[in-house]
Amino acid sequence: IIGDQWSVWVRENGTDWVYIQDITLQNDLECSSSIIFDRAISFSEIAVQPPKQYNPFSNTVNCEITNLVMN
């Protein structure tokens, strides 16, 4: 994987993927990021997409989403 800017997407209302923001994840470093929504949004899925990938490659990613706060 080339680059450290990962994209955060949510599936709004079970149909359309909506881009939320980029977060920075660096290789071999544990980190925490806050995902800020600029509007109220109903979503059924959340995805964190890596930057550009090159084949062949081998990669292990552990991503955990915690502390969801809804108003």
Q: How distant is the alpha carbon of residue 13 from its chain centre?
A: 18
pLDDT band at 8 (very low <50, low <70, confident <90, very high): very high
Output 49 or 71, whichever has higher pLDDT.
49
Q: What is the pLDDT, as a whole number, of residue 66?
A: 78
pLDDT band at 18 (very low <50, low <70, confident <90, very high): very high
- Residue partners of 55: CB distance under 8 A and separation at least 6: none
Distances (CA, A) of 21 to 10, 39, 55, 62: 10, 13, 26, 19
- In 3D, which of 8, 26, 27 has the Cα closest to residue 18? 8
Q: Which residue has the tokens 């990669």?
A: 59
pLDDT tens track for 24-70: 887 777 878 888 888 888 898 998 888 776 666 666 667 777 777 76
What predicted TM-score, i.e. pTM, was given to this entire model?
0.73
